[in-house]
Amino acid sequence: MRTWLEAIVFTTVAIAILIVGFGLRPQEGGDAGGQGGDALISLSYVPPTVAELVETWEAPRETPQQLVTEIEAPDVAPVKAPPLPQFELAQAPAAAAQIQLFQPKEQEEVVVDTDAPPPPPEPEPEPEPEPEPQPRPKPKPKPVAKPKPKPQPKPQKAAVAKRTSDGRAEQKAAGSGGRSEAGAGGKAAATTSPGQIQKLESVWGAKVRSAVARRQRTPRGAKGSGTVVIYFKVSRDGALLAHKIQRSSGNPLFDKAAIKAVTSVKRFPRAPKKLPRKSMEFVVPLQFKN
């Protein structure tokens, strides 16, 4: 900026001097004084504006004085450093041990078991209901022989004839009675004993109940639990002869499932060969839980 300002000022001064010089030159030539004559000096008039500019330009420039502000330091009281603890050689091991006690304990790493938990144990199957003991058949009462009426007294001839005929009849009855008893005794010896019959009935009943239990299913949509007592009759060759609900559970879904468990058995186990029965009745309780 200063360089441009100086160039403008110098250019203006030079132009002004040239203009003034051309304006004040003499119209006619100067008189020569000759070799011994006096020299003529022509003075020209300089306007005051140009003279002031020249003086201003030639005058030394004053440098501005910078203001110096003195900052006084605040009075601060000296702070004394705390004295360092001094340990004697005899106390140095004890101090080191005391400092070591306050060191933080290392954190124990926590091991997280990411293995999947073991699957829950499978529920134990419900035990099959024990077969109910079948009632023993009541023994048939033995026929009681009616006492024969005593013959009324008759005349002697009739009495003799009566005695003769009665004697023959008694002989015949005695002979047939002996053969009948002998035959009945031989047949009883060939049949199974009551203990064996009861055992065979238990074995056959367990097989029949097991066949029903394998087809027992809890119905869908049923809530709660219940027990259905069902009656059914099976022939010797394993055919279902009859069935009905002897005691309901109060839930029609459970009752229907009990009937289906019995009727879905195509053929029940056959009766043992030594069991002298044509059919057998069963009363089985079936439990349902949901």
Q: Strand 240-247 vs strand 279-289: parallel, antiparallel, or unpaired?
A: unpaired
Domains of the chain: 194-289 (3.30.1150.10)
Please report, rounded to a whole number, the percentage of residues in the chain having pLDDT higher than 90: 22
Q: Which residues 6+ apart lie within 8 Å of 33 measured at CB?
A: 39, 40
pLDDT at 253 over 80: yes
Across the range 105-125, mean pLDDT stands at: 62
Tally of CB atoms within 10 A around 132? 13
Phi, psi of 209 (to 5 degrees): -65, -35
The pLDDT tens digits for 57-86 are: 777 666 656 655 666 666 666 667 666 666
Residue 277 pLDDT class (50, 70, 90 cuts): confident
Q: Which of 20-34, 188-202, 251-265 is most confident?
A: 251-265
Across the range 204-231, mean pLDDT stands at: 90
Across the range 20-41, mean pLDDT stands at: 54
Least confident of 219-223, 243-247, 263-267: 219-223
pLDDT at 259 over 60: yes
Across the range 189-216, mean pLDDT stands at: 86
Q: For 247-283, give one letter per residue: b (16+ CB within 10 A) or e.
A: eebebebbbebbbebbeebeebbebbeebeeeebebe
Q: Report the pLDDT value the prediction gives residue 93, as an integer from 0 to 100.
A: 53
- Which of 207, 202, 290 minimizes the C-alpha distance to 254? 290
> 242: part of which helix (H) or strand (E)?
strand 240-247
The pLDDT tens digits for 126-136 are: 656 666 656 66
Cα(85)–Cα(92) distance, integer angstroms:
11
Cα(184)–Cα(191) distance, integer angstroms:
11
The pLDDT tens digits for 153-172 are: 554 544 434 444 444 433 33
Q: Report the pLDDT value the prediction gives residue 128, as an integer from 0 to 100.
A: 66
pTM across the whole model:
0.35
For residue 187, the Cα-to-chain-centroid distance in whole angstroms is 71
Q: Report the pLDDT value the prediction gives residue 9, as an integer from 0 to 100.
A: 81
